Structure 1
Amino acid sequence: MNSPASTPESGPDGYVRTHVADGIGRIEFHHPKSNSLPGHLLRELAATVTAVSETPGGRVLVLPSGCSGPCCAGAYFDELTAISDTAQGQQFFSGFAGVILAMIRAPQFVISRVHGKAACGAVGLIAASDFSMAVDKASAKLSELAVGIGPFVVGPVIEKKIGLAGFSQMAVDADWRDAAWCERHGLYARVYPDVAALDGGVDALAATLAASNPDAMAQLKRVFWAGTEQWDALLAERAAMSGTLVLSDFTRQAIGAFKAR
């Protein structure tokens, strides 16, 4: 089954594009501000992952971000500073929860393609994939504490992927970890010297998985993510924590200072 992607021009609101062919479902997202993720893109991305996972022709999912530059800068700061109450704050951070849950509950393996730096919520999306492949310049960091909040929503999936020690190191010391560190700790499964090699590796693995037994992969997927059955409630609770903290004077000043750099 082939499902040609729509190809809208990249506007100020960004896009999510899909293409399903030869058993591979590709879901590409992009935002002109460093591939950041405003609420509407998070909701669209979660819905698209779910929809493509239910497409009969998609036996493996590939999740890249569009264009060059950073892979993903995480939350969209303009939207963060516009949050005016706790309900709105929880709703925004729940967007990341929605994407994480869609990825780990899809019956197919999800491969993340990391072509550049990844920060904050992006690290959570990478951790929510079943296999991540990156270039050697794809450093990663959790800088939430530096702007007055914390990696609460993405924390459970990062901890499950790289362990408590690795997660706490990233959360406490909000500095960049290079791709070698990410590979050693299991955030990245494979690291390549450039984007061309990365794309070759992604395509080869996706083709191999598309020819594999879908029932076996689905059962393996359930094994990988056992223990996450109650994450709807857990991530909602974590989103409320972030949604409250983002309203504090400390956080607003910290985000303002960060944007002014």
Structure 2
Amino acid sequence: MSPFPPIESGPDGYVRTHVSAGVGRIEFHHPKSNSLPSAVLQELAATVTAVSRTPDVRVIVLQSGGSGPFCAGASFDELAAIEDRKQGQRFFSGFAGVFLALIRAPQFVVTRVHGKAAGGAVGLIAASDFAIAVDKACAKLSELAVGIGPFVVGPVIEKKIGLASFSQMAVDADWRDAAWCERRGLYAKVVPDVAALDQAVDAQAATLAAATPEAMAMMKQVVWAGTDPWDALLAERAGMSGSLVLSEFTRRAISSFKGK
């Protein structure tokens, strides 16, 4: 059961936190399939950083609200409104900020995946340290289909599941089932339903909250070694996507997707 009291989500979504027994739980939500506009991305990155610096937090749980998709990735409404490369780069840099906050948090991040994950959502999962998903939680990289390519999410996904598997997802923008994701290491564990998911996430979080924080921080450094230059790399990648989003092909593709 979620520790968050039920509230109505506004049109811009929300990011909420709850800290208890060493577990810092972060929940994001947007009424449009948990998509991620700039405001939610910026708040999510800032919240992850703030929670990771809270002395009482020994493990972080990342989750999304609602019972539909885990996350639909980038907000198509905001993509369609981008007017120039600088604005586009700024939007895609929002994803980079969240990824960097997750991998640089000294605590392990356990991600609760209760539904489908598309585009940038796959990056969120890859940037966490241990993802637990229900067996209906298929995933895909849809960027190429709309003409922008999975550039910003690429480094974190490639590091998590390897170049070959990342390439498969990038080239064939179709859904991969949860079993495929588990075999490749995107998901650490797959469970049959949401009740089992909550039980598994809570158990894993409790176990990690009892672990030595210093050892956890050192493990994070080992696992994410080689990512120090990613600030510049992801900024460059955001610029690539920011340019492509202005193309006529991408404009038409986004309009088509929004109409579905």
Same fold (TM over 0.5): yes
After TM superposition, give the deviation of residue 208 of structure 1 in Å: 0.6
Q: Sequence identity of aligned pairs in percent?
A: 78
Please give the per-residue CA displacement for 1:191-246, whole angstroms capped at 9, x wherever unaligned: 00000001000000100100110000000000000000000000000000000000
- What code does the residue aligned with 2:253 have? A
RMSD: 1.1
1:209 aligns with 2:188: no
SS at match of 1:181: helix
Which residue in 2 is equivalent to 1:116? Answer: 115
Write the letter of the residue equivalent to 2:235: A
Q: Is residue 34 from structure 1 mapped to residue 57 from structure 2 by the alignment? A: no
1:93 maps to a residue whose letter is F
**Separation (CA, whole Å) in 2 of partners of 1:40 and 1:197:** 32
1:9 to partner: Cα distance: 2.9
**CA displacement, residues 64-97 of structure 1 (integer Å, 9 cap, x when unaligned):** 0001010000000000000000000000000000
Q: Which position in structure 1 is the counterpart of 2:188?
A: 189
1:23 matched residue in structure 2: 22
Q: Tell whether the 8 Å contact from 1:6 to 1:18 is kept in structure 2 after alignment.
A: no
For 1:71, the aligned partner's letter is F
Contact 1:25/1:58 (8 A) holds in 2:
yes
Judged with a 3 Å threshold, the aligned counterparts in structure 2 of structure 1 residues 46 and 207 are, in CA distance, closer, same or farther, namely same
**Matches of 2:153 and 2:5, distance apart in 1:** 30
Encode CA deviations 1:33-52: one digit per residue, 9 max, x unaligned: 00000000000000000000
Alignment-derived partner of residue 247 in structure 1: 246
Q: Give how far 1:112 is off.
A: 0.5
Q: Which residue of 1 aligns with 2:150?
A: 151
C-alpha distance 90-233 of structure 1, shift in aligned 2 (>3 A):
same
Residue 234 of structure 2 is aligned to residue 235 of structure 1? yes
Q: Deviations over 1:116-159 (max 9, x none)?
A: 00000000000000000000000000010000110000000000
Number of the residue aligned with 1:55: 54
**1:161 match:** 160
Alignment-derived partner of residue 179 in structure 1: 178
TM-score (norm. length: structure 1): 0.97
Q: Distance in 2 between matches of 1:250 and 1:198?
A: 40
Tell whether 2:34 aligns with 1:46.
Answer: no
Give the secondary-structure state (helix, strand or coil) at the position aligned to 2:162. helix
Runs of 4+ in 1 over 6 A off after TM superposition: 4-7
Q: Distance in 2 between matches of 1:150 and 1:121?
A: 11
CA–CA distance in structure 2, aligned partners of residues 252 and 166 of structure 1: 28
**Alignment size in residue pairs:** 258
Separation in 2, partners of 1:113, 1:133: 5
- The unaligned stretches of length 5 or more in structure 2 are none
In structure 1, the residue matched to 2:75 is 76
Conserved in 2, the CA contact under 8 Å of 1:120 and 1:151?
A: yes
Unmatched tracts of structure 1, length 5 or more: none
Name the aligned partner's letter for residue 82 of structure 1: A
The secondary structure found in structure 2 opposite 1:61 is strand
Distance across 2 between alignment mates of 1:137 and 1:6: 25
Residue 146 of structure 1 aligns to which amino acid in structure 2? A
Structure 2 counterpart of 1:219, one-letter code: M
Q: 1:152/1:47 Cα in 2 relative to 1: closer, same or farther (>3 Å)? A: same
Q: CA deviation at 1:260?
A: 1.5
Distance across 2 between alignment mates of 1:66 and 1:203: 16
Equivalent residue number for residue 105 of structure 1: 104
Q: Distance in 1 between matches of 2:66 and 2:119?
A: 19
Task: Note closer, same or farther for the CA distance 1:6–1:47 as it changes in structure 2 (3 Å cut).
Answer: farther
| Counterpart contact for 1:28–1:64, Cα < 8 Å | yes
